[in-house]
Amino acid sequence: MSKQGDFMRKGKGKLLLFDLFLLIILVVIDYMTKKMAVIKLKDQPAFNIIDGVLEFNYLENRGAAFGMLQNQRMFFVFVALVFLGVIVFVLFRAPYEKRYIKLHILLTMIAAGAIGNMMDRLKLDYVVDFIYIVLINFPIFNVADMYVTFATAILIIEVLFVYKENDFNFLSFDQKKIRELR
């Protein structure tokens, strides 16, 4: 084993540990905000943060975004598990290079959001939502939703304008390309 190969594996291991640490932190933050929402907001009137702009308003969401697909718990869990599988696959396959660190962070944020909402669905049969933008009458959402939305938007921008077509060759199942990357 070459010294460079050994360095790359150690660096990759550290990056994956960072991903796991970040994932745990983000899931805990989401969990704690939802727990506080249940304690402080459930069965209470909306809590005004910025009059006419932002309020905390407790909602038990049994559907997806905008209340679609009500009471489809197992479907949501299945979709979340598929997305998590794809994310883990990409994180493990991504080369240990500086240009992929942002990819790791964004995918970890998406995974944290999926896990946070999946935990609610499995434990409660609904997702706790509590952030309401009154100004635009936006559907009530939570911190996990913010992770997914923000990270997905940035990821799309990155894929369209930053990464080049061959930057994702590491996802190929072509054994020749895989050997070239090593």
State yes or no: is 129 an active-site residue.
yes
Catalytic residue among 19, 120, 145, 174: 145
Both structure tokens of 52: 């006419």
Catalytic residue among 51, 129, 167, 174: 129
d(CA 60, CA 120): 10
State yes or no: is 145 an active-site residue.
yes
Both structure tokens of 99: 């240009």
Q: Output 13-16 pairs: Cβ under 8 A, ≥24 positions apart.
A: 15/96, 15/101, 15/104, 16/91, 16/92
Return the active site residues: 129, 145
